[in-house]
């Protein structure tokens, strides 16, 4: 009888260790985010946008997109590109079309030489980047 008790106890310890391993692995994806960092960065980017300075439109969209990508990475979202990370976290976004539209504008700015960005387009993109950061728990 003593051997069966010891065996039963060993089985419980092993199962507990396995469960602990699964729990610790599952928590690695949901990493803590420095909310204050993201809050200050999005404010800084929003203040860069000047209605009478068209070059600020491009820069603010590029920086806003980059900040959202940093938040995706900080959250442990898998993917080689930001697009893949956005697809892998689509359920987190309250406005998927908005963040995709903003990201597509960033891609046009980054890859096309003659992109004409309006102030309203840049404002729309920044609003969607802010919303995405909120959805990710970064702000």
pLDDT, tens only, 50-108: 999 999 999 999 999 999 999 999 999 999 999 999 999 999 999 999 999 999 999 99
> Would you say the pTM of this structure is higher than 0.85?
no
Report residue 131's pLDDT band, with 50, 70 and 90 as the boundaries: very high
**Whole-angstrom distance between the N-terminal and C-terminal Cα of the chain?**
58
Cβ-count burial of 60 within 10 angstroms (0-12 exposed, 13-18 middle, 19+ buried)?
A: buried
What's the full length of the chain, in residues? 139
For the chain, which residues make up each domain, given as ranges?
A: 1-30, 35-135
In Å, what is the CA distance from 119 to each residue of 57, 109, 125, 127? 6, 14, 10, 12
Can you list the alpha helix ranges (DSSP code H) found in the chain? 2-28, 35-48, 54-74, 82-88, 96-111, 119-135
């Amino acid at each position: 009888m003593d051997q069966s008790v010891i065996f039963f106890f060993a089985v419980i310890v092993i199962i507990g260790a396995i469960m602990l391993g699964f729990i610790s692995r599952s928590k690695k994806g949901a990493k803590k985010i420095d909310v204050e960092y993201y809050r200050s960065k999005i404010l800084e980017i929003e203040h860069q946008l000047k209605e009478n300075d068209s070059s600020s439109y491009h820069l603010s969209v590029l920086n806003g997109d980059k900040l959202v990508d940093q938040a995706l990475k900080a959250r442990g979202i898998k993917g080689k590109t930001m697009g893949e990370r956005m697809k892998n976290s689509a359920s987190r976004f309250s406005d998927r079309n908005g963040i995709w539209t903003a990201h597509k504008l960033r891609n046009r700015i980054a890859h096309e030489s003659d992109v004409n960005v309006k102030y309203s387009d840049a404002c729309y993109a920044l609003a969607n980047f802010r919303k995405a950061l909120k959805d990710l728990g970064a702000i």
